[in-house]
Amino acid sequence: MRYFEYFVGPQHVGVTGNMSYHLWADGDEIKKMITSVGYLHRGFEKLMEYREWVKNVPMVPRICVPEPDVNEVLYAMGVEELSGLVPSERAQYIRVLVLEMARLSAFLFYFAGAAGALGLYTIPQWTIGDRDYILDRFEELTGGRAYHIYTTPGGVRRDLPDGFKSRVQETMNYLKKRLIDYDRLMFENAIIVKRTKGIGIIEKDYAMNMGVTGPNLRASGIKADVRKDDHYLVYDKLDFDVPVVGDGDIFSRIMQRRLEFDESIKIIEQVLEMMPDGGFIEKLPNPIEWKVPAGDVYVKLESSKGEFGYYIVSNGEEKPYRIHVRGPSYTHGIQVAQEKIVGMRIADVAPFLFSLDVCPPDIER
Amino acid sequence: MGLFKFSRSRSLWMMHFCTGCGAIEMPPTMTSRYDMERFGIIPMATPRQSDLLLVTGYLTVKTLKRVVRSYEQMAEPKYVIAFGSCTMRGGMYWDSYNTVKELDLYIPVDIYINGCMPRPEAIIDAFIKLRDMIDKGEANAWKNYRDNLDWYKQNQAKVFDINKWSAKI
Amino acid sequence: MSLDVEESIKQDIDLRLKDIAKCEIQRERRLKLYTGKDRVIPVLGFLKSYGFIHLAAISCVDWLDDGEFEIVYNLWSYRDKAGILVKTRISRENPEIDTAIPIYEIAETYEREIHEMFGVNFPGNPNLTSLFLEDWNGPPPMRKDFDTRKYAAEKYGMRDLTEQLKIGMDKIKGVRDGDEIL
């Protein structure tokens, strides 16, 4: 039996970034898929071994493009754990604020992709436009739209500007108002519901065994969140729920993000209220001679795509000995997608991959 | 300014190929806030129907191969805009073992945008500059590629095997 | 801050894997376990049945001075809310270690990457093809003795722009007299 072969990507509208798929199809039914990654492999882990500890701070955000702050915070957390630095409480609250704002912007990006894959082009116009209001806040705080290079080991680079809190609150109020429109346009939209319900199901046990994490795992029905289970920064002082949708299909993965969107807004509002006064950065040693004590540490946190982790090894020199980055898309972007796509129709491939939120740069680094 | 140049410069179709991190600023440029469609620029899915190739950031060897192929498939006249410091001299990845450093050794480039990453305003500025260049008849990099094909092929061959396109993707 | 959960995990591991593995507590919710190359698969099998069902990553560290690779399996238990790093060392001369696919299916891609980046062989892994690189002609790039700067300079040699820079600097010099030219 010979199957029709399709080559999807890297120059294609239906792929989530720069990666490609080789599909074998019998009529309309997919029989086999092979993912091909590596189009964005820059060898970050190697480059970081060649640079001093502080010089790596602007390197790391490039690893995950839609949500760069995750990498900065993780790298800072790892270096702090190795060198025994403890950032001030204010700095920790600011980091949570930055992380949650980044999560919101990544979710808005996700909605655009998921809806665009289904051919609904109004939603990207709205969500990407609204995402820019969050980027404006980032620009005000850090000076950059996409890459912020704001969190450094020891704290954050600068304090909040005057009146920043109230402007963040305004943005949140605006987003809450817009969510009503989004619900009507996207999440209750008959086209989305009919195209996505019951398709691309990832079962609970399978997801757990295959190392799927984050919203995709929760959409399959497991209540696991790094923010709760392995709490970092000040997340244990904040009050938020971990929603679990539980069906594991494309629709529940989209809905999962929608529900977590509310929780992130809740967290941001609490952070704005609870943020204490104080310093925002600890005194650091001379960055050129800074030797981080020998040891190894695995730090992880919850990004909008799942568990992001850094395994950092130091041998007591000016430069890191080895840094291994665990990107969340690594598991669901390659093996899970390859196995679960079998039996699906060609038209469902793009919605399925966009619903998984596969982000090639964090697979390849 | 001839009618052809006028029409070409005002209906540039851009190939939809996110080659690097610069692609993260393309959706804001395309959508409601910056709205590049008012300059007649829309994304197009296939290389054969597009006039403009955006190289959004560093190119790894694996991507360069696909970019060269897509570029050669585009119909002339065709224009290239390269994003970011990493396409000029390697930028942040100047010592990486897997990214090419100077893009114009491999394909001709009309306009470089500086920065990492370029803001949407910078991207729109580049579009306007390209439009003016087409109007004046200065955007001729594609002729350069045709005239110096041997030189480009020679450079490409240093990085990947140009005769052996990989059978699988 | 108590370490009750960690202590009880350590006790259980010490009891069951007394002769073949050494366990220590790193900090809250983090443990480490050292074991020999041949014992890794049984140890991983025990840990999975104990509750460490999530394989977060497999890392490899090149200890050039010791002549060894260190393979680090990174596990997490959803039940106990604790993570464990399982470490083992293999020689650099003949880097080979059994695949973990029978226990953790997801190990396939991680092993594929380590095979490509460090040249470690995983007998039993059916899919050790290249993952990221294409038309690669150098040694495995993540090894410590591979010099990326030298390789990049040879392969992607950049044009010499000193002359152009000098012209530019001359112009600048006209404006700001007395500045040194690079």
Predicted ipTM? 0.84
Residue B164 maps to a domain: no
Contact B60 A128 (CB under 8 A): no
Q: Which residues of chain C have pLDDT under 50?
A: 173-182
Average pLDDT, chain A: 88
Question: Judging by beta carbons within 10 Å of its beta carbon (0-12, 13-18, 19+), is residue A178 exposed, middle or buried?
Answer: middle
The tally of domains found in chain C comes to 1
Reported confidence tier of residue B169, pLDDT bands at 50, 70, 90: very low
Cα(A345)–Cα(A334) distance, integer angstroms: 19
A194-252 pLDDT, tens digit each: 888 888 888 888 888 888 888 999 998 888 888 888 888 888 888 888 888 888 889 99
Average pLDDT of span A290-314:
89
Cα(C130)–Cα(C136) distance, integer angstroms: 10
Q: Please report the pLDDT score of residue B151 as a whole number.
A: 85
Q: Given a cut of 90, is residue A35 above it in pLDDT?
A: no
The tally of domains found in chain B comes to 1
The pair of structure tokens assigned to C39 is: 């014992």
The tally of domains found in chain A comes to 1
Rounded to 10 degrees, what is the CA torsion of A125, A127, A133, A139?
A: -90
Top pLDDT among A295 and C135 is at A295
Structural domain including A140 reads 4-364
Q: Please report the pLDDT score of residue A311 as a whole number.
A: 92
Cα(A288)–Cα(C64) distance, integer angstroms: 24
Q: Please tell me which of the candidates B15, B33, B62 has its beta carbon nearest to residue A129.
A: B33
Q: Please report the pLDDT score of residue A313 as a whole number.
A: 92
Contact C151 B97 (CB under 8 A): yes
Q: Given a cut of 60, is residue B166 above it in pLDDT?
A: no
Hey, what amino acid is at B82? A
Residues of B in contact with C135 (CB under 8 A): 61, 65, 159-161
Distance from the B31 Cα atom to the nearest Cα atom in chain A, whole angstroms: 5
Q: Does B45 touch chain A (CB under 8 A)?
A: yes
CATH of the domain at C45: 3.30.460.80
Residues in chain C: 182
From the list C42, C21, C41, C40, the residue with the least C-alpha distance to C32 is: C21
CATH of the domain at B22: 3.40.50.12280
CB pairs under 8 A between A and B: 100
Structural domain including C30 reads 4-175
Q: Does B27 touch chain A (CB under 8 A)?
A: yes
Contact A146 B23 (CB under 8 A): no
Q: Please report the pLDDT score of residue A36 as a whole number.
A: 86
* Conformation bin of residue A214: beta by default, left when phi > 0, alpha when psi is -120 to 50: left
Q: Please report the pLDDT score of residue C176 as a whole number.
A: 46
The interface residues of chain A toward chain B in range 296-315, judged by CB-CB distance below 8 A, are none
Q: Does C165 touch chain B (CB under 8 A)?
A: no
A46-59 pLDDT, tens digit each: 898 888 888 888 88
Q: Does A120 touch chain B (CB under 8 A)?
A: no
The interface residues of chain A toward chain B in range 26-65, judged by CB-CB distance below 8 A, are 34, 36, 38-43, 46-47, 50, 58-59, 62, 65
Q: Please report the pLDDT score of residue A310 as a whole number.
A: 92
Residue C161 maps to a domain: yes
Give the β-pairing of B79-83 and B52-55.
Answer: parallel
Cα distances (angstroms) measured from residue A60 to each of A56, A261, A324, B23, B137 = 6, 25, 12, 18, 42
Measured CB to CB, residues of chain B less than 8 Å from chain C are 61-62, 65, 89-90, 94-102, 105, 158-161, 166
CATH of the domain at A199: 1.10.645.10
Residues of A in contact with B20 (CB under 8 A): 18, 40
Distance from the B106 Cα atom to the nearest Cα atom in chain C, whole angstroms: 11
The interface residues of chain C toward chain A in range 62-81, judged by CB-CB distance below 8 A, are 62, 72, 74, 78, 81
Phi and psi at C130, nearest 5°, equal -70, 145
Structural domain including B93 reads 3-159
Reported confidence tier of residue A173, pLDDT bands at 50, 70, 90: very high
Contact B102 C158 (CB under 8 A): yes
Residues of B in contact with A42 (CB under 8 A): 58, 60, 93, 96, 98-99
Residues of C in contact with B161 (CB under 8 A): 135
The pair of structure tokens assigned to A157 is: 């680079």
DSSP annotation of A281: B
Structural contact between residues A272 and A198, judged by C-beta atoms closer than 8 angstroms: no
Question: What residue in B sits closest to C142 (Cα-Cα)?
Answer: B97
Question: What residue in C sits closest to A35 (Cα-Cα)?
Answer: C131
Which chains have 3+ CB pairs within 8 A of B?
A, C
Give the β-pairing of C30-35 and C54-63.
Answer: unpaired
Query: What are C57's strand-pairing partners?
Result: C74
Q: Please report the pLDDT score of residue B1 as a whole number.
A: 62
Q: Where are the beta strands (DSSP E) in chain A?
A: 4-8, 20-26, 29-36, 151-152, 155-156, 295-302, 307-314, 322-326
Residues of A in contact with B16 (CB under 8 A): 11-13
